[in-house]
Amino acid sequence: MSDADRVRIAAVCGAMSRESRTRTALSVALEGASEFEVETRLIELYDYDLVILGSVAPEDYPPDVSRFRQEVEGAHGILVATPEYYGSLTGALKNALDLIGADALRGKIVGLIGVAGGDTGAINSLNTMRIICRNLHCWALPQEVSIANSSSAISEDGAISDQALHERLLEIGRNVARFTILQQRVRQEEFMQLWEGLPRW
Ligand SMILES: Cc1cc2nc3c(=O)[nH]c(=O)nc-3n(C[C@H](O)[C@H](O)[C@H](O)COP(=O)(O)O)c2cc1C
């Protein structure tokens, strides 16, 4: 298989902090994806000099904006994880998704993970990300992972002692890989024609 044919899975981490439990969770999911014959890549927002969408004319964007966009666009399947911030995804992740835009994500398989400090978990972030995915025209898998009580669920050194949670994270990564591989096997053109024929918002 040539590099061009290889299925690529990117994982976008919505946390800006370097010590992040969200990143730990996402890395486990990426490990699940890598059980398949796919190329995986962890994308950290702090590695890119991004701008707030609308604050700068596109011709004045720093080169990192297109580097970031290309790296996401180059992936066939995506994992997205966010910390829950006041009942939603982080502003940094929302802005990053705005910058990426629908053209780069349309038709792609997406797996969603949310990480919250409180008891109720990250359901609100996950629901909001699902709405965003719908508007970006991507396929959010019905399965998702909501992590509650993040500081006890994921230790400071990155250990996840709850085996069921660890397995759920591996499985969402595996499913993104499985469904992306299946999707890539269908002729891309045919898939896009079917997809484009669906009603728009
Ligand atoms: C600005 C801010 C807002 C937060 N809002 C919530 C919240 O609404 N619900 C909740 O359960 N936890 C909330 N938390 C806790 C985080 O979700 C939790 O600490 C999570 O692990 C952060 O992700 P990280 O470890 O990847 O940085 C908030 C934390 C911050 C910094």
Quickly state the pLDDT bin for 188 (edges 50, 70, 90): low
Indicate if ligand 1 lies below 6 Å from the C-beta of 150. Answer: yes
Predicted local confidence at residue 195, as pLDDT = 73
Q: What's the CATH number where 13 sits?
A: 3.40.50.360
Predicted local confidence at residue 201, as pLDDT = 59
Nearest to 107 by CA among 133, 147, 137: 137
Q: Which domain holds residue 102?
A: 3-196
Q: How many separate domains does the chain show? A: 1
The 3-state DSSP class for residue 135 equals: helix
Q: Which residue has the tokens 């959010």?
A: 140
Give the number of the atom of ligand 1 that is nearest the alpha carbon of residue 84.
17
CA of 195 to the centre of ligand 1 (A): 36
Per the model's pLDDT, the better-predicted residue between 195 and 13 turns out to be 13
Asked if residue 76 is part of any domain, the answer here is: yes
Determine the residue type at 177.
Answer: A
Contact 82, 45 (CB under 8 A): no
Asked if residue 201 is part of any domain, the answer here is: no
Quickly state the pLDDT bin for 52 (edges 50, 70, 90): very high
Q: Looking at the whole model, is its pTM more than 0.95?
A: no
